[in-house]
Amino acid sequence: MKRIFILLVSLAAVLGVIAGCSSTTTPTSDVTVEDFGTYTATDEAPAFGDPDLKAIAAEEVVFDDPAVQLPALDSLENLDSSAIYCFRMVWGNLAADTGVTTPTDWSGKLTLSRGAVVVTRIIRFEPGQDSLVLDSNVSSLPNSVAWVSTTTVCSDGLALRLIVPPSPTDEIVTVAFESSQLSVTFSLDQLDGLDTMVVVGFGNAASFQSFRCDGGYRHGALAGVWGRDTTGLGVFYGTWISNNGMIIGTVKGDWGTDSLGHQYFVGKYINETGRFEGFVKGNWYLRGQGKQAAGHFAGLIYDADKEPIGVLKGHFKPGNSRRTGYFAGRWCVGGDCFATPYLEE
């Protein structure tokens, strides 16, 4: 059954609700939230020398959208008062649950009520099965993108750039995601700090993130696997994405429950060459059980001297193995990142 939502809730409010009904479902770890576990401020091999991490980075393919050749798009982007957003959406079996065997049709469309939509990356589309449906009128600025997508034990997605020009009126600008499984509409105000996941039925969900590409913050996104190792302890690993939507590094860490009952995550991130960039540490909150389980995480970013330099937060669906589970979030480094508006978005 198709579900329709208007999402107007901030992440801070969601975290507050989830914290009140969270459940501890992970084994106890010897790592405490007072340190960074086994992670040190040292350089690593690219992608930590982890073939699974390299595979995740390879799942995103740069797309050369014909719209970038239009002079009108260049003019629109160069307007001082235009707002440019990096928008990521992933749908399907986010946790890669192998127990999901029924194909799900996610074909649909995303529409920006005013402005232009540019596709920058295609995520896990399978040739011959999944495809973009571009506007045949290549001479006009596209305000939407459509796709054909079917998922079973995996997920598909798109990374976009949304360019919103100024308006002389009080017109409300919206971004509408419409598919056979889900319809959801976001307001322009939400795009500055969008980070949400909507569970659809058993095993399926849709993840949405957005932030300003043209802002002064040093910020971006992160996404990958939130699963468990062979001992049952939680692990996460994924890509570190810049404010222009490009993959600039990788992140790796552990999550679990310490001896005091704190639900923690801890790890580090490196750039593309393996150079140490920072530690990550914080807390996670989970609600629901089985295929309906979903949660949020929030924490800080630290430098090599273990001083806080930024924040990160996001959402996840836990997996039961090292190659199942999903997380996506946002990060921000710099003094302005600790301002109340950013933390509450």
Report the mean per-residue pLDDT for the chain: 85
Place of tokens 């002389």: 168
Residue 218 CA, distance from chain mean position? 16
pLDDT in tens, 190-237: 998 899 999 887 789 999 999 888 765 588 999 999 999 999 999 999
Separation between Cα atoms, residue 212 and residue 184, nearest integer Å: 20
* Predicted confidence band of residue 23 (pLDDT cuts 50, 70, 90): very low
* Predicted confidence band of residue 314 (pLDDT cuts 50, 70, 90): very high
Mean pLDDT along residues 310-327 = 92
* Predicted confidence band of residue 147 (pLDDT cuts 50, 70, 90): very high
pLDDT of 2 above 80: no
**Opening angle at CA 139, ends 137 and 144, nearest 5:** 55
Q: Give the pLDDT of residue 213.
A: 83
Q: Which of these, 298, 248, 301, lies nearest to 272 by C-alpha position?
A: 248
* Predicted confidence band of residue 334 (pLDDT cuts 50, 70, 90): confident
Q: Give the pLDDT of residue 336.
A: 75
Q: Which of these, 74, 68, 77, lies nearest to 165 by C-alpha position?
A: 77
Which burial class, exposed, middle or buried, applies to 261 when counting CB atoms under 10 A from its CB (0-12, 13-18, 19+)?
Answer: exposed
How is residue 288 written in tokens?
């629901």
Q: Which residues contact 56 (CB under 8 A, 6 or more apart)?
A: 224, 225, 237, 238, 239
pLDDT in tens, 149-199: 999 989 999 999 999 998 877 888 999 999 999 999 999 999 988 999 998
Mean pLDDT along residues 302-324 = 93
Sign of CA dihedral 272, 274, 278, 282: positive
How is residue 82 written in tokens?
């235009």
pTM for the model: 0.83
* Predicted confidence band of residue 34 (pLDDT cuts 50, 70, 90): low
Separation between Cα atoms, residue 148 and residue 177, nearest integer Å: 14
* Predicted confidence band of residue 290 (pLDDT cuts 50, 70, 90): confident
Q: Give the pLDDT of residue 215.
A: 60
Q: Give the pLDDT of residue 186.
A: 97
Q: Which of these, 285, 301, 302, lies nearest to 293 by C-alpha position?
A: 285
Domains of the chain: 10-57+217-344 (no CATH), 61-212 (2.60.40)
pLDDT of 44 above 90: yes
Q: Give the pLDDT of residue 43.
A: 98
C-beta separation of 277 from 249 below 8 A: yes
Percentage of residues in the chain having pLDDT higher than 70:
87
Q: Which of these, 200, 197, 186, 276, lies nearest to 240 by C-alpha position?
A: 276
Q: Give the pLDDT of residue 4.
A: 39
* Predicted confidence band of residue 79 (pLDDT cuts 50, 70, 90): confident
How is residue 4 written in tokens?
């329709």
Separation between Cα atoms, residue 200 and residue 183, nearest integer Å: 11
Q: Which of these, 329, 325, 328, lies nearest to 94 by C-alpha position?
A: 325
pLDDT of 264 above 50: yes
Separation between Cα atoms, residue 308 and residue 302, nearest integer Å: 4
